[in-house]
């Protein structure tokens, strides 16, 4: 009974099947030389046939192609990389361990990189500068072709130390260095979208509850929400922005404050979906109907939160996948020596659900 060995087999050299790793019966991947031998040509010729270069008889080319197919040949990317200086790999460094924001960005990036046969190495710095440095070094040592930096905050961040050695693009949170390439959400536009929606549906006493004032996202959204109100000749309900936390708890508290400050308030724009959800709960429990009495708009379009809320939340979608996709395109540009710089903005999208339908 052969093939019944206890699977040891380290044996690097000697044997024809020499890869020590995948010791399964699985044949070691075919090499170009083997393809060439089967087709009866030289290795160089086989390379030309497979890559469509050089001058070959169609017949010869076919023979090589057939041999390659028969042996299930795939060129060893390590050898290719050694010559071309490219690895067809990019690193994605994120500070967002939960993945709430970075995963959609990653998926979008993959969509753009996949057709280029580029894979993504995911590195989670967990918000730790030391880990980030470590990952940058690791990625550089691996000779990756480029780096995408992302995170869960939209605040500008200092450039990646060491990123001068390789094309780098910042997604969602821009670099503080204007010479870097950054792709971010159109936060001002998102805030205007939300407020416009409320104003257009006839609301006039609109409050704004949001996260910590020192968070870029909170500040920008509040700023532009205010401006948009002013443009319609309106003022913030309660006369101020309710800054706090990005939590449901704060949403509940703040909704109460809003109602006390302005019992006639007919809409609340919340800085994120958690806050909006908290507000929805507090309003319902205070006997205020949503959306009939008070319309509610959130931000982020965090599906499970927005659809789990009662009622389901109208909210601003950051188009994270699109941000990732465009970041990847810019990275491809930089890799191909078409460098750019500056901040590119991706529009947000309003997703209308029950919480704002009058």
Partner DNA sequence: GCAGGATAGGAAAACCTTTTCCTGTTTTCC
Partner DNA sequence: GGAAAACAGGAAAAGGTTTTCCTATCCTGC
Binding site for DNA (CB under 7 A): 10-13, 18, 28, 31-33, 40-48, 50-51, 53-57, 59-61, 73-76, 79-80, 82-84
CB of residue 35 to DNA, shortest distance in Å: 7
Count CB atoms within 10 A of the CB of residue 192: 21
In the bound state with DNA, the residue whose beta carbon lies nearer, of 4 and 10, is 10
Site membership for a second copy, residue 15 (CB under 8 A): no
Identify whether the C-beta of residue 146 lies closer than 8 Å to the C-beta of residue 331: yes
Rounded to 5°, the CA angle 136-324-150 comes to 35
- State the pairing for strand pair 349-351/342-346: unpaired
Residues 6+ apart with CB under 8 A from 185: 154, 172, 318, 319, 320, 323, 345, 346, 348
Q: Applying CB under 8 A, what is the total number of residues that bind a second copy?
A: 70
Site membership for a second copy, residue 4 (CB under 8 A): no
Q: Rounded CA gap, 125 and 135, in Å?
A: 7
Write the CA distances from 154 to 52, 190, 294, integer angstroms. 46, 13, 29
DSSP 157: B
x-marked contacts with a second copy along 306-345 as a string, rule CB under 8 A: --x--------------------------xxx-x------
**Peptide linkage before 75 cis (omega within 30 of 0):** no
Site membership for a second copy, residue 153 (CB under 8 A): no
In the bound state with DNA, the residue whose beta carbon lies nearer, of 84 and 165, is 84
Residue 166 binds which of DNA, a second copy, none (CB < 5-8 A, kind-dependent)? a second copy
In the bound state with DNA, the residue whose beta carbon lies nearer, of 28 and 350, is 28
Residue 352 binds which of DNA, a second copy, none (CB < 5-8 A, kind-dependent)? none
Q: Rounded CA gap, 291 and 297, in Å?
A: 10
CB of residue 186 to a second copy, shortest distance in Å: 24
Enter the tokens of residue 274.
Answer: 């958690």
Residues 6+ apart with CB under 8 A from 331: 90, 146, 147, 148, 167, 168, 169, 181
Residues of span 171-230 touching a second copy by CB under 8 A? none
In the bound state with a second copy, the residue whose beta carbon lies nearer, of 163 and 314, is 163
Residue 249 binds which of a second copy, DNA, none (CB < 5-8 A, kind-dependent)? a second copy
- State the pairing for strand pair 236-243/146-150: unpaired
Token pair 């020590």 in the structure block, residue: 20
Site membership for a second copy, residue 3 (CB under 8 A): no
Q: Which stretch binds a second copy (CB under 8 A): 31-39, 92-100, 189-197, 205-213?
A: 92-100
Q: Rounded CA gap, 117 and 140, in Å?
A: 19
Q: Which stretch binds a second copy (CB under 8 A): 57-65, 69-77, 288-296, 346-354?
A: 69-77
Site membership for a second copy, residue 85 (CB under 8 A): yes
Residue 41 binds which of DNA, a second copy, none (CB < 5-8 A, kind-dependent)? DNA
Q: Rounded CA gap, 307 and 301, in Å?
A: 9
Options 48, 71, 93, 124; binder of a second copy; rule CB under 8 A: 124
Q: Rounded CA gap, 135 and 162, in Å?
A: 11
Contact residues: a second copy, CB under 8 A: 7-10, 12, 18-26, 28-29, 74, 76-79, 81-87, 89, 97-100, 103, 106-107, 110, 117, 119-124, 126, 138, 140-143, 145-146, 164-167, 247-249, 274, 277-278, 281, 304-305, 308, 335-337, 339
């Amino acid at each position: 009974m052969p093939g019944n060995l206890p699977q040891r087999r380290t044996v690097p050299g000697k044997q024809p099947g020499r890869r020590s790793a995948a010791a399964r019966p699985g044949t070691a991947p075919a090499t170009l030389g083997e393809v060439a031998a089967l087709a009866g040509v030289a290795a160089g010729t086989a390379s030309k046939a497979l890559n469509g270069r050089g001058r070959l008889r169609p017949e010869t080319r076919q023979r090589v192609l057939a041999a390659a197919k028969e042996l299930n040949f795939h060129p060893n990317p390590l050898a290719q990389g050694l010559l071309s200086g490219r690895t067809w790999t990019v690193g994605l460094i994120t500070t967002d361990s939960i993945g709430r924001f970075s995963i959609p960005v990653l998926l979008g990036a993959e969509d753009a990189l996949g057709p280029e046969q580029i894979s993504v190495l995911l590195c989670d710095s967990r918000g730790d500068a030391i880990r980030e440095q470590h990952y940058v070094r690791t990625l550089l040592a691996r000779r990756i072709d480029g780096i995408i930096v992302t995170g869960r905050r939209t605040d500008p961040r200092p450039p990646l130390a060491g990123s001068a050695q390789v094309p780098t693009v910042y997604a969602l949170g821009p670099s503080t260095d204007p010479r870097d390439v950054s792709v971010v959400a159109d936060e001002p536009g998102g805030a205007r979208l939300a407020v416009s929606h409320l104003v257009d549906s006839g609301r006039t006493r609109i409050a704004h509850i949001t996260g910590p004032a020192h968070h870029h996202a909170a500040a920008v959204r509040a700023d532009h929400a205010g401006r948009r109100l002013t443009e319609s000749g309106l003022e913030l309900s309660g006369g101020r922005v309710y800054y706090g936390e990005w939590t449901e708890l704060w949403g509940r508290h703040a909704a109460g404050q809003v109602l006390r400050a302005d019992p006639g308030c007919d809409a609340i724009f919340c800085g994120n979906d958690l806050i909006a959800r908290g507000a929805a709960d507090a309003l319902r429990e205070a006997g205020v109907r949503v959306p009939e009495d008070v319309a509610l708009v959130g931000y982020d379009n965090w599906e499970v939160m927005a659809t789990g809320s009662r009622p389901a939340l109208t909210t601003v979608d950051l188009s994270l996948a699109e941000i990732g996709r465009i970041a990847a395109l810019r990275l491809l540009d930089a890799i191909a020596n078409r460098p750019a710089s500056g901040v590119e903005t991706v529009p947000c999208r309003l997703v209308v659900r029950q919480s704002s339908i009058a």
